[in-house]
Amino acid sequence: MRITDTLTNASVRQDDLNYVFHSWSAQGHLDPLAIASGQGCQIWDFEGRSYLDFSSQLVNTNIGHQHPAVIKAIQDQAAQLCTIAPAVANPQRAEAARLILERAPAGFRKVFFTNAGADANENAIRMARQVTGRDKVLSAYRSYHGNTGAAIVATGDPRRVPNEFARGHIHFFNPFLYRSEFHATTEQEECERALHHLRRVIESEGAESIAAILLESIPGTAGVLVPPAGYLKGVRALADEFGIFLILDEVMVGFGRTGAWFALDHYDVVPDLITFAKGVNSGYVPAGGVIVSEKVDTWFQDRVFPGGLTYSGHPLAMAAIVATLNAMTQEDMIGNAQRLGASILGPGVHTLCERHAMIGEVRGLGYFWALELVSDPAKRTPLGAERVAALKSALMARGLLTFVVANRIHLAPPCIATATELNQALGILDDVFTQHGSL
């Protein structure tokens, strides 16, 4: 008998509430969704109700749920060798690194594996500080980089405030024309003024004290803030001018999410370090890492890197990475996200914006979009939490899971999502906004 045959939604939910301490939550105000299994873009509960997963959970199941090739690779590796220390040479680890480097820009040489995106950013910061001999790290207010010591302080959103115990972190405003900090009226103005602002922060903090600028290529949790043309290249130019490392955080946007292997591919910019996690193996087994440039690798040839993790390059995670990257290539998942994102999902959310005044703006690329919800379109007043929660509940009642943050609905389907599934989701969104979206 399968374990799911003896369970109900209510029993699973109650056991969870009894025994599990949840992240980012007041523990007495939880009502978790009970999920039994999934396949592709669908998941279902213990009573057979299905949901179209357009959240990719936490924007990580880029290949969808239960991909058979990845499941088999994990099973085969478990049968051969479940775990081995990171100092030991392992073929799956080397192959995973090789496949990642094949997809990275020219100029990268090695991969340092971590357990997730937060510790990837931790170790990228460590590398930058070691190589430059400097301490400070600049990052954006509109950002999220993880929930470990330096990563959460590098994060700009308010979750950092109760956690500010790491040193040397300075924040600046990244471009966001819809809510411009620079009184800009065009993307070009926003770009120029944001770069001037960053220059002044560098000068005011003392360029000789700054080790790195850490940026999400496209800030995700902060609202899918697609940077204006020229911004990332401008940041690269500032970093070069002042001898500062540029670290691009691709944890959420890497491996197909934007219709390219890396979001940075859209902007013709090459950083010094790239961090990744999530989509590299869809989170089937936790994994992340830092893609290390030739410059950094060379520096550490005769110097000890002061960092390490017990499970760095864990064989099960590495097997999942190898199978994931091969499946994404063989099944053209990147091309699917690019083509259908441009022809169906992007135009579809723009049509929703035109039809429903509550949607103040839509932003995105590929299979990565955000709907900015407002109560007053003229004033761009963010929609209140209660109304956003009601919309989320209405979407779930119709069988659509989305990634909801603040006053935004984020759409991040697996890169395998079909035209039929995209149109189904867009239809549900249209119906729900028609029924619940009056201002």
The answer, yes or no, to whether residue 232 has pLDDT greater than 80, is yes
Question: What confidence tens digit (pLDDT) does each residue in 102-131 have?
Answer: 999 999 999 999 999 999 999 999 999 999
pLDDT (0 to 100) of residue 5: 67
pLDDT (0 to 100) of residue 438: 82
What are the strands, taking DSSP E only, across 125-208? 136-140, 169-172
How far is the C-alpha of 167 from the C-alpha of 154, rounded, in Å? 10
Question: What confidence tens digit (pLDDT) does each residue in 336-346 have?
Answer: 999 999 999 99
Q: Lowest-pLDDT range, 5-14, 316-325, 331-340?
A: 5-14
The answer, yes or no, to whether residue 228 has pLDDT greater than 60, is yes
Question: What confidence tens digit (pLDDT) does each residue in 141-164 have?
Answer: 999 999 999 999 999 999 999 999
Contact in structure between 14 and 364 (CB atoms under 8 Å): no
Sketch the domain layout of the chain as residue ranges: 35-66+332-436, 69-330
The answer, yes or no, to whether residue 283 has pLDDT greater than 50, is yes
CA distances from 157 to 117, 153, 162, 221, 341 (A): 17, 9, 11, 9, 28
Question: What confidence tens digit (pLDDT) does each residue in 75-99 have?
Answer: 999 999 999 999 999 999 999 999 9
Per-residue pLDDT band for 439 (boundaries 50, 70, 90) equals: confident
Mean pLDDT over each residue of the chain, to the nearest integer = 97
SS3 content of the chain, % helix, strand, coil (to 5): 45, 20, 40
Please state whether beta strands 136-140 and 210-216 pair in parallel, antiparallel, or not at all (unpaired).
parallel
Contact in structure between 436 and 390 (CB atoms under 8 Å): yes
Question: What confidence tens digit (pLDDT) does each residue in 377-389 have?
Answer: 999 999 999 999 9
Nearest Cα neighbor of 150 from 139, 134, 166 is 166
Class of the CATH-defined domain 35-66+332-436 = alpha beta
The answer, yes or no, to whether residue 272 has pLDDT greater than 70, is yes
The answer, yes or no, to whether residue 4 has pLDDT greater than 80, is no
pLDDT (0 to 100) of residue 157: 92
The answer, yes or no, to whether residue 203 has pLDDT greater than 50, is yes
Contact in structure between 180 and 190 (CB atoms under 8 Å): yes
The answer, yes or no, to whether residue 365 has pLDDT greater than 90, is yes
Helix residue ranges per DSSP H, 81-186: 91-103, 117-132, 149-154
pLDDT (0 to 100) of residue 3: 53
Half-sphere exposure of 33 (CA within 13 A, CB side): 20
- State the architecture of 69-330 in CATH terms: 3-Layer(aba) Sandwich (3.40)
How far is the C-alpha of 398 from the C-alpha of 316, rounded, in Å? 36
Taking residues 66-77, report their average pLDDT: 98
Amino acid at the residue 323:
A
Structure tokens at 167: 């040193």
How far is the C-alpha of 345 from the C-alpha of 110, rounded, in Å? 35
CA distances from 56 to 125, 213, 368 (A): 28, 28, 10
Per-residue pLDDT band for 1 (boundaries 50, 70, 90) equals: very low
pLDDT (0 to 100) of residue 437: 78
How far is the C-alpha of 412 from the C-alpha of 34, rounded, in Å? 21
The answer, yes or no, to whether residue 308 has pLDDT greater than 70, is yes
Taking residues 259-281, report their average pLDDT: 98
Place of tokens 């619940």: 436
The answer, yes or no, to whether residue 216 has pLDDT greater than 50, is yes
Q: pTM score, two decimals? A: 0.96
Nearest Cα neighbor of 92 from 352, 244, 315, 374 is 315
Contact in structure between 276 and 383 (CB atoms under 8 Å): no
